[in-house]
Structure 1
C-alpha cells in the first residue's frame, strides 16, 4: 500500500505549477499606433526592431488601433489635410476629437475589449497614441503600461498625459516637467535623451560611399544638396513650390514623396521636361537615413520625428511653415530648434531657398555639438527591465503556489498512509 501511494504521487505531474513554469510562453509586447500621419508607426517599428534584435524569442507586435476604435475615417481625413496642406482644418479635427472623446469612451472601450479578446494576453503594452490611453489601460488591466510620447510636448490638441496609471516616456525636458505638473509621481515619468527613431539612423556611411552615391545621382559637386522631406504624407503643392525654388537657386534636390503618388508623378513630369535639373525623386522608402547623409540640409515641416531623424543624422534643418501656419504639436519643435541654432524657419518656399551656405555651415557646427540621442535603445532597456521584473514576480507567485500544492499533496498522502 505504501509503495503504491508513492508510485501514484508525482511532484512533477504534467499539470503541476513547477512544470508549467519550466515551459513558459515568450514575453508578449504590443506596440499601439494610429494611422493618422506616419510618425507613430515609424516609432513603433523602430522600437520593435531594437527589441527583437535584443530579444529574438519575444512575441512583439505592432497594432494599428484606429480601425478597432472606429477612428480610421478621421485618420484618413487628417492624412488628406496633410496632403492638401489644409493646415487650418487640422486643429478643428483635434478639437472635435477632444470634445467628443468623453461621449464615445464607452463605445471605444467595448471595441477595445472585442479586439483584445481575439488576441493573446499581453505582458507589456506600449502606447504611441494620444487620446486613448485611459481606455487602453482600463481594457488591459493585467499588463504593464507605458506611453511613449512621440511629440516634444503634451498639448490640448494632442493630449498624451491623461491618467495617473500611465508611465510616460518623455523625449524632452519640457514634456518631463509637464508630466510632474499634471500630477504623475516621479517614478512614473522617465526622461530619455530624445525622440525614438529607427536604429538605421545610427548607421553612418563613410565618405567614399557617400561620394560614390552622389556621383551616381549626377549631382553638382560644389552645390548645396537639399533633402526635401515632409514625412509619410507630404503636401503636394507646397512641396512642388519648395522644390522649384531650391532648383532655381542651384541646389541639388532629393525629394522623398512618401505615400503621395500624385506628388511623385507631378515631379517626374518636371524632371522629364527639364532633364538637366539636379533632381532625384523617391517614393516611400525605409532608407531615409542614407538620403539625409547625402544632403547638406533637410528641408521640410517641423515634425518631431523628421527633425529628430535629421539631427541624429547630424544635419541642420530648414522648417517650412507656409503663411506661419504651424500645428499645435509642432510649435514647440520649431521654438527649440531655433533657440539652439539647429535650424531656421521660413514662411515661404523662396525664403527657405535663400538660406545661404554660410548659414547652413553655422547651423552645422551647432548640430555637431549636440549630445547623442540614444532614446530607442534607452526605451528598449526600460521595457526589458519591466518585463524581467514581471517575469520574476510571476515565478515567485508560481513557486509559492507550487509549494502550497506540494504541501497539500503531502497532507493528502499522509492522510492515506494513516
Structure 2
C-alpha cells in the first residue's frame, strides 16, 4: 500500500511518527531528528518518538548493542571481524529467524503502545521484525500502519538494512541504491534515491552561501566568520573533527597541521571540535602556538552551529562518518578523511574520492594529512574544483524531500 494510505484528516492535524533508532554512533539519531523537524514544519501538530526496540525488547546479544558498539568502535580490528561475519547471507537468515521468533510479539506490543500513524526505521537491526509487526498490527486493527526505511549509510551498507515489506526505502547515494537492487528484496520502484537526511540548518546555510568561491559566496563566508566571532576572519580556515566524542588521533593531526602550515608560510586558523575531550581542549588552550608562524589553533567543545562553522571553513578534516560527509557536501566544503570503521564506513571513503571532493590519508600519517591540506590551501583552483564537486554531491534538502514523500 502506498504512502497516500495515511488519511488526509490525520495529516491535516499532524502526524504521530515513531522512529526506530539506536545510539550506535550519532548518525542514526541525527537523521531521525532531522526528519522529525521537517515533519513538524510540513505537517504542523506533528509529534514524534524515538524508540530503540532492540534495547527494549531484543534478546542477547542484540540488546547490548549500544555498549557493544562503543567498545567495538574503539577497537577497529574487532569491529571488522564482527561486521564481516554479520554482513553475510547466512547471518542475515539466522538473525531474521531468531529475532522474529523471540522478539516479534514484544516489538508489536511496543509499537502498538505508541499508536503511531507511521513508523520509520533508521537502523539496520530495526527493519525485519518491525515490518512483520506493522503488518500484523494493520491486520489486527483494520487500519494500515505504514513503515518506511531510511538508510543512513553512503558508500556501503549492512545486509540487514534491506528487509522487504516497507512502503519505500530511501537511500542516500547511487552506491546504496545499486546495493539495494543487487540484494533483490525491495522492489526497484520502492527504492528512492533522496540523499542522506541532515539538519535543516544546512539547507538554510547552503541557500545563503550559494556558490562558495563566487564573490557573493566569499562575502557570505566572511560574514559568518564575524558572526561566529572567530579569532580572525581573513585567514584560510581548517575545521578538524573527530566525532561527537572528540575521539581519534586529533592531537597528532592538529600538531602536524600546525607545523606544516607554519613551515609553508600559510597564515591559517585551525578550529578543533573537541567534543567531550576536555583534556585535548585544555591542551590546545594552554599551548604557545606562536613559536613557528602565524597559525592560530582554537579548541571548541560541542558545536551547536555546525552548519555555520562548515561555511566558515575552507577545508574539513574528519573521520568518514556519513552524516558529516553529507553535511560538508551540502555546503560545498572539501573533505580530508582520516579514519573509518572497517566495513561500515569504508565505502564512504570511496564515495568522497570518487565524487572528487576530497581525499583520504590515515590518521597514523598526520604529516601526510598536513601536507595534503596545505597543498589544497596553496592552490585556489584545486580548492574551487573540490568545492564544486562537493556541491554537486550535496543534497541539503534531503530530510524535507523524504518527509514530504512519506506524508503525501
Report the TM-score range of the alignment, normalised by the length of the smaller protein. 0.7 to 0.9
Equivalent of 1:144 in 117, 130, 146: 146
Matched, 1:73 2:91: no
Structure 2 counterpart of 1:339: 354
Would you say the 8 A contact 1:342–1:364 is kept in 2?
no
Q: Which runs of 5+ in 1 are unaligned?
A: 1-20, 386-418
Q: 1:318 aligns with which of 325, 330, 336?
A: 336
Cross-structure match for 2:129:
135
Equivalence for 1:378? 401
SS where residue 344 of structure 2 aligns? helix
What does residue 368 of structure 1 align with? 388
Instruction: Tell me: CA distance 1:353–1:343, structure 2 relative to 1, closer, same or farther (3 Å).
Output: same
Give the corresponding residue for 2:326.
308
Aligned residue in 2 for 1:221: 234
- Answering whether residue 308 of structure 2 is matched by residue 294 of structure 1, we say no
Q: In the alignment, is the contact (CA less than 8 A) between 1:33 and 1:41 conserved in 2?
A: yes
> Which of 255, 271, 283 is matched with 2:272 structurally?
255
Alignment deviations for residues 82-120 of structure 1 (CA, whole Å, 9 cap, x no partner): 3x4x2112123335656472434433324423422432x
Question: The residue matched to 1:190 in structure 2 has which SS?
Answer: strand
Indicate if the aligned counterparts of 1:264 and 1:281 stay in contact, CA closer than 8 A: no
Distance 1:110 1:282, change over 3 A: farther
2:191 aligns with one of 189, 192, 202: 189
Alpha-carbon contact 1:112-1:139 (below 8 Å) kept: yes
Aligned equivalents of 1:203, 1:31: Cα separation in 2: 24
Distance 1:174 1:131, change over 3 A: same
8 Å contact from structure 2 (residues 13, 43) kept in 1: no
Per-residue displacement from partner, 1:20-66 (whole Å, max 9, x unpaired)? Answer: x89x9743211221110000111111111111011122232233444
In the alignment, does 2:76 pair up with 1:87? Answer: yes
User: Hey, what's the Cα distance between the residues in 2 that align with 1:330 and 1:359?
Assistant: 29
Asked if 2 retains the 8 angstrom alpha-carbon contact of 1:149 and 1:160, the reply is: yes
The 3-state SS of whatever aligns with 1:140 is: helix
The 1:47/1:165 distance shift into structure 2, 3 A limit, reads: closer
- Kept after mapping to 2: 8 A contact 1:232/1:284: yes
1:118: which partner in 2?
A: 113
2:344 is aligned, of 314, 329, 354, to: 329
Partners of 1:360 and 1:73 lie apart in 2 by 48
**2:360 alignment partner, SS class:** strand
- Give 1:306 deviation, angstroms: 0.7
Q: 1:198 maps to what in 2?
A: 199
- Distance, in Å, in 1 between the alignment partners of 2:19 and 2:379 is 40
Q: In 2 relative to 1, CA 113–213 (structure 1 residues): closer, same or farther, beyond 3 Å?
A: same
Q: Measured at CA, do residues 242 and 182 of structure 1 come closer, stay the same or move farther in structure 2, by a change above 3 Å? A: same
**TM-fit CA distance, 1:230:** 3.0
Asked whether the equivalents of residues 46 and 376 of structure 1 are also in contact (C-alpha less than 8 Å), the reply is: yes
Partner deviation per Cα, 1:158-192 (whole Å, 9 max, x = no partner): 53112244621111122222323322223211121
Task: Specify whether residues 220 and 181 from structure 1 end up closer, same or farther in structure 2 by C-alpha distance, changes over 3 A only.
Answer: closer
**Would you say 1:63 and 2:38 are equivalent positions?**
no
Give the TM-score taking structure 1 as reference length.
0.75
Query: For the Cα contact (< 8 Å) 1:316–1:360, is it kept in 2?
Result: no
> Which residue number in structure 2 is paired with residue 27 of structure 1?
15
Contact 1:161–1:182 (CA under 8 A) maintained in structure 2: yes
Mean CA deviation greater in 289-298 or 243-252: 243-252
Q: Which residue of structure 2 aligns with residue 108 of structure 1? A: 103
Which of these two proteins has the greater Rg computed from alpha carbons?
1
Tell me how far 1:304 sits from its aligned partner.
Answer: 1.3
Deviation at 1:221, TM superposition (A): 3.3
Q: Which residue of 1 aligns with 2:301?
A: 283
Number of the residue aligned with 2:278: 264
Q: Secondary structure at the match of 1:118?
A: helix
* Equivalent pair of 2:42/2:404 in contact (CA under 8 Å): no
Q: Distance in 1 between matches of 2:307 and 2:65?
A: 30
**d(CA) in 1 for partners of 2:166 and 2:196?**
22
Q: Which residue of 2 aligns with 1:246?
A: 257
